[in-house]
Amino acid sequence: MRKVIFEGIATALITPFRHDSFIDYNAYEKIIEQQLDAGINGLVVAGTTGESATLTDEEHAELVKFAVTTVARRVPVIAGAGSNDSEHARRLCRNAMRAGADALLLVTPYYNKCNTKGLVEHYRKCSNGAGDNLPIIAYNVPSRTGVNIKASDYEKLLEIENIVAVKEASGNLAQVGEIAAKYGDELSIYAGNDELAVPMLSLGSKGVISVVSHFIPSEMVGICRDYFDGKVERSKNVMLHYMELIKAMFVDVNPLPVKKAMSYMGYCMEKCRSPIGELSDEDAIKIKKLMEKYHIIKKIDIEKYK
């Protein structure tokens, strides 16, 4: 087994913005400390949920550096650093390394699709940018990128020593099973979909890179801990208990729902950068009612949050 970056739950952090669309570092620090207090096992900075596609290179490096400084080695800080331009991705990797990231999360190239040879070359360039020792989590999310990392691709990808894990967000459990069967002794697998946490743990996953852990962090940590401790039934039951809330985080484009949820809890504004858009009033009310149902917030006047 190559280096295991974390076991359990890593939260894919939102990037909070102010009214003027600049990054709200005060809110970011509050969110990070809330996560650490809850016992989270890792933090992902500037990933998809962190609206990485809208960050400038300077903002990206600054965000990673701020997280690294705030976390102060308490858990691994994993920096999203992917791009559909291999040279740009390589620069982002280098900048994240210089900012002190413990690992990288690299999404497959998007829009300009690549074949297996191109995919391997892309990750090789990113590895060169990351240096010899910074581990890489390949990120497979074909619903966003149009590129799927097939199980057979890992024969070549694992020639790159920095690649130690995959975040599997394809939703294809048969594919995950094939990867685990062939490469599970060498490659850590992380679930990229909260609703598949327990099924993927059953296939050998080391944990989950989670969205819903923003506001139920200790509960998500407990799901993994119980599973690892052999309390499989309890792990499953907790997962099923929160399923309605988990699904609600994808009633619209991520991170609109989770930012709305965090705004209800008073951590940040719900603002996302263009072109993501805004959450509908109907979906906002649905999220509010679910958060009340699960006792995450008390009954509140939704009008003041519009």
Cβ atoms < 10 Å from Cβ of 218 = 15
* Coil, strand or helix at 106: strand
| Main-chain dihedrals φ then ψ at residue 273, nearest 5 degrees | -80, 150
Residues 6+ apart with CB under 8 A from 11: 35, 40, 42, 43, 44, 209, 210, 211, 213, 214, 217
139 is catalytic: yes
Cβ atoms < 10 Å from Cβ of 37 = 10
Say how many CA atoms lie within 13 Å of 105 toward its Cβ.
32
* SS3 annotation, 241-277: HCHHHHHHCCCCCCCHHHHHHHHHCCCCCCCCCCCCC
Q: Please pick, among 28, 65, 123, 139, the residue that the annotation labels catalytic.
A: 139
Residues 6+ apart with CB under 8 A from 179: 151, 154, 166, 168, 187, 189
| Residue keyed to tokens 């994240």 | 96
Cβ atoms < 10 Å from Cβ of 1 = 10
Q: Please pick, among 167, 206, 259, 260, the residue that the annotation labels catalytic.
A: 167
User: What is the enclosing helix (H) or strand (E) of 203?
Assistant: none
249 vs 59, 229, 244, 245, CA distance in Å? 26, 28, 9, 7
| Main-chain dihedrals φ then ψ at residue 112, nearest 5 degrees | -80, 90
CA distance 51 to 249: 15
* Token digits of residue 301: 């006047």
25 is catalytic: no
Which residues are catalytically annotated? 139, 167
